[in-house]
Amino acid sequence: MPLHPEIATFLAGLPTPPEGPLDPVAMRAADETHVAPIEERLPLHAVEDVTARTASGEVPVRIYTPVEADSHGVLVYFHGGAFFLGSLDTHDHVARSLAKETGLKVVSVGYRLAPEAAFPAGLDDCYAVVRWVAEQGENLAWDGTTLALAGDSSGGTFVAAVAAKAHDDGFDRITHQILYYPSLDLDFDVDRYASLRENAVGYGLETAGLKPFNAFYLDSGADPADPLVSPIKRADLTGLPPALVVTGEYDPMRDEGELYGRRLREAGVEATVSRYEGAGHGFVQHFSWIPEYHRVFEETRDFLGRR
């Protein structure tokens, strides 16, 4: 189907991006201007900002409790933003929707960003918070069952990398991994994936922008050949948690996400690949108010309920 008309209208109204090098500080400031006021956000039983004291250091997290209960399953959420953008605030609406639809307590991670924090700082923060959740389970009223990971775009990269690190460390408490249009192959070889060519121009995120957007992360020491940077390069995917991989029809990174899902299944991992027609990259963050795309939260709920 064609690009969703409401997305097409939005993209047509965007100003031409300025030429020259990207300015991460200015781009972060611009991102924050789109954050909804507190009184307009989806209400939940409780939302609390705390500091997770972890092996990686002190990491800010925001904990969303959907309803009052003695205990909850937990979903740890990693926001997207090409490893240099995004915050607890810019993705607050995503975390709230995840908590409301799944019924899980959501722990959103304010990990360190490139280029100020060199690789693997952000990844270490994400992994450390997952371990912290398990260690602090009683204080967090975790029910000891579901411990899911979810992330969009570069947050999906961290989901795959954290699941792999946990597996290699013998940490077996992670029950699910949910990757929304993940970036899984950071060498951006246009000959490897047809979607990098088919969706190169006109759908929001453009193929030519992938290298400059990810340069802050890669120049900080993240090697695209490293499976913790490009999780699709991991040779052995056996033993990883069940996965839901969500892709967008018009996303340049569509094919690497779908290939990862197939490789997981070939390795004996339960994996569901779900392509959202008419959608481009970033639709969970930017367009989940469109009914067809809000369904991603219901699909996430159903996936979590299978086990």
Cβ-contact 3, 9 below 8 angstroms: no
The single residue of 124, 183, 281, 288 carrying the catalytic annotation is 281
The single residue of 152, 185, 251, 255 carrying the catalytic annotation is 251
- State how far Cα 77 lies from the chain centre: 7
Beta strands (DSSP E) in 8-71 are: 46-54, 57-65
Q: Which residues in 266-288 are b (16+ Cβ under 10 Å) and which e? A: eeebebbbbbbebbbbbbbbbbb
Strands 57-65 and 105-109: antiparallel
Is-catalytic flag, 153? yes
Q: How far apart are CA 284 and CA 181, in angstroms?
A: 9
Q: Which residues in 143-172 are b (16+ Cβ under 10 Å) and which e? A: beebbbbbbbbbbbbbbbbbbbbbbeeebe
Running DSSP on this structure, what letter comes out for residue 18?
P
Q: How far apart are CA 111 and CA 61, in angstroms?
A: 8
Identity of the residue numbered 43: P
SS3 content of the chain, % helix, strand, coil (to 5): 35, 20, 45
Strands 243-248 and 271-276: parallel
Q: How far apart are CA 177 and CA 190, in angstroms?
A: 27
Is-catalytic flag, 31? no
Q: How far apart are CA 93 and CA 143, in angstroms?
A: 24
Q: How far apart are CA 57 and CA 60, in angstroms?
A: 10
Is-catalytic flag, 251? yes
The single residue of 87, 153, 154, 183 carrying the catalytic annotation is 153
User: Would you please indicate which residues are annotated as catalytic (active-site) residues?
Assistant: 153, 251, 281
